[in-house]
Chain A
Amino acid sequence: MMQSSELTTKAKEYLRIAKVDLVIGYLEGTTKDRRRAGFIRSAEEADNLVLDERCEDNLAVYLVKENLLARYKKVAIFLNPAGIRTINVLASEEQIEADKIVILGFEITGGDVRILDGESVDDFSELIAQLKLKAFDSEQMADVDEIDSLDVDKRFEYWRGEFSKCIKCYACRQACPMCYCNRCIVECNQPQWICRSAHTLGNFEWNIVRAFHLAGRCVGCGNCERACPVDIPLMKINRKLGKEVLDRFDYFVGSSKDQQAVLTSFKQDDPQEFIL
């Protein structure tokens, strides 16, 4: 606990010396076991900041909503490694200016909070390189492999069951830092690509499109799955595709702010064993 208070103290100090004019951090939630995002503008308010093992949400999502960054000169933000990678993705997609962001980095491991050294996103490149080495190991992929081992029609049944619960609330989209389009494809109706109603067919289509638009962009922060009110295991799909881009294209999402998106780039000798 000693450690985590170091980081909130740092945030307070940043505001006091006007190094930043906004801190995005965690506050106590409506119930004891929950945390919520806090937007802190003064050193006094900073006393309310908390940092503990319940601070799971990727706060970077707020950087791209409501044009927030336009209103502040510099923003300090509490981020775990997935959140730090988010900064790289958003910077590479020219959604944010990385030098406006001061990172308050932390990592939660087994209920403990560990403070990460660094301030600008480039300071964390070594950490991210290390993450790449152990990304999507067999332990993390056990539940995905389980689905893969089923026959294709069993897989269809499994997902039909899951997607039939979807109510098309789009919370998964709103909670995702990489889902920042002002006009989402599901809201286009001329032509209407995806069935509007929360029926299983349309839910299938929606979930396919959501996953595909996040392919090679998802950092695995888990915001989408936590936001889903009907507990659809969206992370299974995200991890499946995350491993796919890593295995096929040696691409680890959010490795640097100059990284080109995997689906807007190519190599002449990309694998094509499936093309007749």
Chain B
Amino acid sequence: MADNFEPRIIAFVCNYCTYAGADLAGTSRLKYPANVRIVRLPCTGRISPLFLLKALQKGADGILVSGCHPGDCHFISGNYHARRRWSIFRTLLDFLGIPKERIWFSWVSASEGRKFADLITEFTENIKQLGPFTQYDKLIKEMSE
């Protein structure tokens, strides 16, 4: 099972840094697993925790949230606000039994194409090890019955 399990990974990224970094990875012909679906938002400050819940609700096995390094936010403070929000939100999810290992947070700048590709590779490997999020899948299935 674990061998041919292809995880579904959703990445919520900001337009100005991580999306540009992902773009750079592409134009530099850096290879990374095709498991990731990228959702581009104007700013990390726009990445609502509701998006993460929605991704889980639709069967994501892993979620990456990424934006500009501190000090680099196009809108000056979006990432600082996001950072506080993420830290509380992940504590909450973890307390309720949604593993921290399934939701990663990172800063990836427009010049860090290599970092982006490596991160996706490592994350995908990790999620493959963890396997599908069966507990949550069960809830999703039960609901559609």
Let me know if A268 and B98 touch, CB within 8 A. no
A275-B106 contact given A208-B96, A211-B92, CB 8 Å threshold: yes
Question: Residue among A148, A248, A276 with the most chain B CB within 10 A?
Answer: A276
Question: Residue among B53, B77, B140 with the most chain A CB within 10 A?
Answer: B53
The complex places the Cα of A263 from the Cα of B83 at a distance, in Å, of: 9
Contact of A208 among B53, B85, B140, B143 (CB under 8 A): B53
Asked if A230 lies at the interface with its beta carbon under 8 angstroms from chain B, I say no
Asked if B26 lies at the interface with its beta carbon under 8 angstroms from chain A, I say no
Let me know if B70 and A268 touch, CB within 8 A. yes
Let me know if A275 and B105 touch, CB within 8 A. yes
| Chain B: CB-nearest residue to A197 | B143
Contact of B97 among A152, A195, A200, A264 (CB under 8 A): A152
Contact of A266 among B77, B91, B119, B143 (CB under 8 A): B77
The complex places the Cα of A275 from the Cα of B88 at a distance, in Å, of: 13
Which residues 92-145 of B sit at the A interface, judged by CB distance below 8 A? 92-100, 104-107, 119, 135-136, 139-140, 142-143
Chain B interface: which size bin? 35 or more
Asked if A153 lies at the interface with its beta carbon under 8 angstroms from chain B, I say yes
Let me know if A270 and B89 touch, CB within 8 A. no
A159 to chain B, nearest CB (A): 5
The complex places the Cα of A249 from the Cα of B87 at a distance, in Å, of: 11
A237-B97 contact given A201-B140, A266-B77, CB 8 Å threshold: no
Asked if B74 lies at the interface with its beta carbon under 8 angstroms from chain A, I say no
B6 to chain A, nearest CB (A): 22
Which residues 232-276 of A sit at the B interface, judged by CB distance below 8 A? 237, 240-241, 244-245, 248-249, 262-268, 270-272, 274-276
Let me know if A212 and B83 touch, CB within 8 A. no
| Chain B: CB-nearest residue to A213 | B49
The complex places the Cα of A272 from the Cα of B68 at a distance, in Å, of: 13
A266 to chain B, nearest CB (A): 4
Let me know if A216 and B88 touch, CB within 8 A. yes
Asked if B54 lies at the interface with its beta carbon under 8 angstroms from chain A, I say yes
Which residues 150-200 of A sit at the B interface, judged by CB distance below 8 A? 152-160, 185, 193-195, 197, 199-200
A183 to chain B, nearest CB (A): 15
| Chain A: CB-nearest residue to B107 | A275
Let me know if A152 and B143 touch, CB within 8 A. no
| Chain B: CB-nearest residue to A154 | B97
Which chain A residues lie closer than 8 Å to B91 at the CB level?
A: 240-241, 244
A246 to chain B, nearest CB (A): 12
Let me know if B50 and A215 touch, CB within 8 A. no
The complex places the Cα of A201 from the Cα of B53 at a distance, in Å, of: 10
Let me know if B88 and A237 touch, CB within 8 A. no
